[in-house]
Amino acid sequence: MIDSLHKLAKYRYECGNYSVSTSYLYFCMLVLPPNDKNYLSSLWGKFASEILVQNWDSALEDLNKLREYIDSSPNQFGGNSLQLLQQRTWLIHWSLFVFFNHAMGRELIIEMFLYRPHYLNAIQTMCPHILRYLATAVIINRGRRSALKDLVKVIQQESYTYRDPITEFLEHLYVNFDFDGARQKLHECQTVLFNDFFPYILFR
């Protein structure tokens, strides 16, 4: 019956009724043991559905569950590091919806992307463009000055593979002490921020 409920949840998801799939998958998650073949896909499905109905508290809970599952060992990836990296990369991308909408998001994105080495590593090898979002969160989070220092180090390390006006702004300001350059980049940041889906959420 749980197999059928899982199938039905996917069907309702594909029809666009995400609130129904969140409740079906909620029941799947209650009874499925972590080693079940449908466990991970139920968790991903629930996470995606909670995002799509904009239920940010539940989405955050599912994000944490997914991360714990992916990071726990043994898990079903059984040491397949490429699959692990892919799962982490997907999680990093989907989590942006949560981090830019949840009230705690700009704090939590720093914890996960900057201070969890597996995730920082995934960003550096698979998706350095994510640095833009981490940088945005660090800049607007005034309580985290030490994070700024750590972030600038990463931006410097990655500057040969990735740069954009936001990372360049930080480089000018904190590495080169080039304030005219920083002012110029700040100007470009304005265009970037208003045309990028995630930071734009913060200015609505």
Binding site for ligand NAG (CB under 6 A): 17, 20
**What is the DSSP secondary structure assignment for residue 72, as one 8-state letter?**
S
CB atoms within 10 A of CB 8: 14
In the complex, the smallest distance separating the C-beta of residue 15 from ligand NAG, rounded to whole angstroms, is 8
User: Cβ closer to ligand NAG: 17 or 184?
Assistant: 17
Whichever of 23 and 191 has its CB closer to ligand NAG, that residue is 23
Query: How far apart are the C-alpha atoms of 72 and 175, rounded to whole Å?
Result: 37
Residue nearest to ligand NAG (CB): 17
Q: At closest approach, how far in Å is the CB of 52 from ligand NAG?
A: 11
Shortest Å, Cβ 120 to ligand NAG: 39
Give the type of residue at 130.
Answer: I
Nearer to ligand NAG, 20 or 126 (CB): 20
Least distance from C-beta 91 to ligand NAG, angstroms? 27
| Calpha distance 90→50 (Å, rounded) | 16
The nearer residue to ligand NAG, 20 or 175, going by C-beta atoms, is: 20
By three-state DSSP, how is residue 100 classified? coil
Return the H-helix or E-strand segment holding 171: helix 165-171
Contacts of 54 (CB under 8 A, 6+ apart): 101
